[in-house]
Amino acid sequence: MTIESIISEGVSKALKALYGVEVEERDIVPQATRKDFEGNFTVVVFPFLKASHKSPEATAEEIGRWLQENEDAIEKFNVVKGFLNLVVNPHFWTKLLNEISQAKDYGFKTAPKDAPLVMVEYSSPNTNKPLHLGHVRNNLLGYSLAKILEANGFRVVKTNIVNDRGIHICKSMLAWKKWGGGETPETSGKKGDHLIGDYYVEFDKHYKEELKALENEGLSTEEAEAQSSLMAEAREMLRKWEKGDPEVRDLWQTMNGWVYAGFDETYKRLGVDFDKIYYESDTYLEGKDLVLGGIDSGIMYRKDDGSVWADLTSDGLDHKLLLRSDGTSVYMTQDIGTAKLRYQDFPIDKMIYVVGNEQNYHFQVLSLILDKLGFKWGKDLVHFSYGMVELPEGKMKSREGTVVDADDLIDRMISSAKDASAERFADMAPEESEEVARMVGLGALKYFLLKVDPKKNMLFNPKESIDFNGNTGPFLQYTYARIRSVVRRAGHLPEEVDPSVTPNEKESALIQRIADFPAVVEEAGKTYSPALIANYCYELAKEYNQFYHDYPILKEENKEIRDLRLVLSREVGRILKNAASLLGMEMPERM
Ligand code: ARG
């Protein structure tokens, strides 16, 4: 319980006892007392005058006296017009600190067996190319969201839908067959997802050449596209795939296998994982069935050409194609099928899709269709929509070969971490410095991408992200390592702080700050906001560093005060580490 809520509750009780009125605690918000007055928190009493029928001064006086007599946390008070300034009992802070250090995972709730089940979908790549910077933002957001929801006592299932079939993967397959000469990840030394990505680019290159040649013969662009033999071959391959042609299926299986091995490596390096992965190749037929069933129940309709649609005009949207006239399914269809399989596997109460904002309309439509089809979470599905991320050097565009590759980015972050902290690593064993550089490089990346509003487009600035003095991951990690070093050097630490010691202003502010952590976790869970956690970490780290700078800790001669500062340091460290874990960040013990 934070001191603010103790005060709110106290004032609410006082109003009831003194004037017989019920005022909700959340309508009583104590403010920090202004510097020129004595006190920690101020309550404005004007809203209570109707109940008291007294002057502001007299009302504040009465509430203040009641609190002083009945509320342990309040030591004394003073009144300035309608402002009631409250001085918190210093022992309250030590008691609070002791409570925090006794709590096992302070701020984290554990899910009861019957807690609501939330499924968080993130990543969801196509299998024709490796993961890029946009996926990195996606993965980090999704993973952090899942962690935050878990900390709020939900049961969470992390999931992924891999779009593993369709024309895109056939293009890579065809290019590999034509020009690959049997190349494999082993023979080429390339990661499987990169290898496939290269063939996707290869297809595109040949396709463009073919189009150009046709256009040179006098065809228009559309005519050339229609006549392209490469595209025709790719389509033919897709048809064979749909029919289950063993040779095409074999190749598809092999090549997707390479891609998955590659993805797994990237996921592992990013520190993200999934409880259950779905594959479009398993779900798209289910979607087809549901759509066809929807015709019978009047949810969908069929046009003369055989195509199947949903009419969403009464919901203010458009008509939406769900099956083409040749019976093949579209992107939406597989999402419907995926929803069905997921619901069969897990009794989901809430579904969150972490997908870029270019798909806002898609998820609006999906929500309506799932609702019509009777999914109880369909209507309230959450599309956790996020903006684009770019590097300062250039735009991030797929297919043009200028994509910021996720693996390259990770490598680059780790090597910048090494450069940025070469002297810090000087006295470390090589394995330790490797490990710390990994944590710092990834910490920089994660924190920078998560500290901002996900809705906004952003620039990822690698250099800025790794600055040890900025609002960065490495700044938090450095603060943590500094705390751990103090704690190590102290040797034995008491479990409890002597309750009679009086914390100074900075110390009590810091205790208040760590006591705020549970409320921050709760708020981040309600608003789906990793950024809130990130900002909390930053404020906490800044405040600790200020304290560290202003007061001696190990050198403090008064044993009780030294103990207080040490326990406080230890608890700040613990909370910083736990908070950072909600962002998927690791904290080094030394750096
Ligand atoms: N694979 C898709 C793409 O790269 C994203 C899938 C998003 N998830 C979903 N359930 N539709 O655009």
| Nearest C-alpha neighbor of 130 from the set 203, 196, 199 | 196
Q: Confidence band (pLDDT; 50, 70, 90) for 9?
A: very high
Tokens representing residue 371 in the block: 């609702």
Q: What is the reported pLDDT for 450?
A: 98
333 CB near ligand 1 (under 6 Å): no
pLDDT of 422 strictly over 90: no
> What rounded mean pLDDT belongs to the chain?
95
In this prediction, residues 284-289 reach a mean pLDDT of 96
Task: Give the pTM.
Answer: 0.93
Residue type, 401: G
Helices (H), 127-228: 133-151, 167-179, 185-188, 192-216, 221-227
Q: Whose CA is nearest to atom 10 of ligand 1?
A: 335
Task: Output the CA torsion sign for 544, 546, 550, 555.
Answer: positive
- Give 11-17 contacts, CB < 8 A, sequence gap 24+: 11/43, 11/63, 11/67, 13/70, 14/62, 14/63, 14/66, 14/67, 14/70, 15/48, 15/51, 15/63, 17/66
pLDDT digits (tens, 9 = 90+) for 93-150: 999 999 999 999 999 999 999 999 999 999 999 999 999 999 999 999 999 999 999 9
CA distance 584 to 534: 11
144 CB near ligand 1 (under 6 Å): no
CA distance 565 to 556: 9
Q: Judge whether 63 and 11 are in contact, CB under 8 Å.
A: yes
Angle at the Cα of 126 (from 385 to 283), degrees rounded to 5? 90
In this prediction, residues 314-343 reach a mean pLDDT of 95
Question: Mutation test of ligand 1: which of 122, 355, 384, 399 has the most ligand atoms closer than 8 Å to its C-beta?
Answer: 355
In this prediction, residues 172-197 reach a mean pLDDT of 97
Tokens representing residue 544 in the block: 């600790």
Q: Hey, how many other C-beta atoms are within 10 angstroms of the C-beta on 550? A: 9
Q: What is the reported pLDDT for 1?
A: 67
In this prediction, residues 67-90 reach a mean pLDDT of 95
In this prediction, residues 219-234 reach a mean pLDDT of 96
pLDDT digits (tens, 9 = 90+) for 487-530: 999 998 988 899 889 999 899 999 999 999 999 999 999 999 99
Q: What is the reported pLDDT for 401?
A: 53
In this prediction, residues 442-457 reach a mean pLDDT of 98
Q: What is the reported pLDDT for 424?
A: 81
564 CB near ligand 1 (under 6 Å): no
Residue type, 61: E
CA distance 134 to 385: 12
pLDDT of 402 strictly over 80: no
pLDDT of 393 strictly over 80: no
